[in-house]
Amino acid sequence: MEIEEIKKILPHRYPFLLVDRVLEIKEEDIKGIKNVTVNEPFFEGHFPDFAVMPGVLIIEAMAQLGGVLVFQKFKKEENVTPVFLGIERARFKKMVKPGDTLLMHVKIKKMRATVAWLEADAKVGEEKVAEAELLVGIAEK
């Protein structure tokens, strides 16, 4: 799934759209990427002399990818959008820097009605950089 298809699902736009491509999507899990470039606006103010992607944005990127996954279960319905509802057990294991590609994997742990509990992680290469349990739902626009 390329960026134009992602933009049809997620309400985010630059600079807050943090999923560049969906690599694989199945019934219960999804894989996608975020290319981290030096031109990202957050690098101006977040440790400007030591460029590190803010952890909260790594979590947001995983939640957006999870939103794409959860939306797939409701795509026949009009006027709905995925929303980020909660986060638990977030851990950051390594810094993410310009030039890195975040490979994110999100899977549904449990789902009830329009709310999904997700397990998410992000890697750079083979090294895990972050993990969290996320809560994503579907809301009417």
Among 68, 59, 65, 104, CA closest to 86 = 59
Count: domains in the chain: 1
Residue 58 CA to residue 136 CA, distance in Å, equals 15
Q: What is the pLDDT of residue 66?
A: 97
Instruction: At 138, list the tokens.
Output: 């579907």
Structural domain span for residue 83: 3-140
Q: Indicate which CATH number applies to the domain containing 31.
A: 3.10.129.10
What single DSSP character describes residue 26? -
pLDDT beneath 50: ranges in the chain: none
Among 7, 21, 29, 139, CA closest to 84 = 139
Q: What is the pLDDT of residue 112?
A: 94
Coil, strand or helix: which one is 123?
strand
pLDDT in tens, 41-70: 898 888 888 899 999 999 999 999 999 999
Q: What is the pLDDT of residue 46?
A: 81
Residue 128 CA to residue 122 CA, distance in Å, equals 6
Q: What is the pLDDT of residue 94?
A: 97
Residue 102 CA to residue 109 CA, distance in Å, equals 22
- Write out the catalytic residue numbers: 46
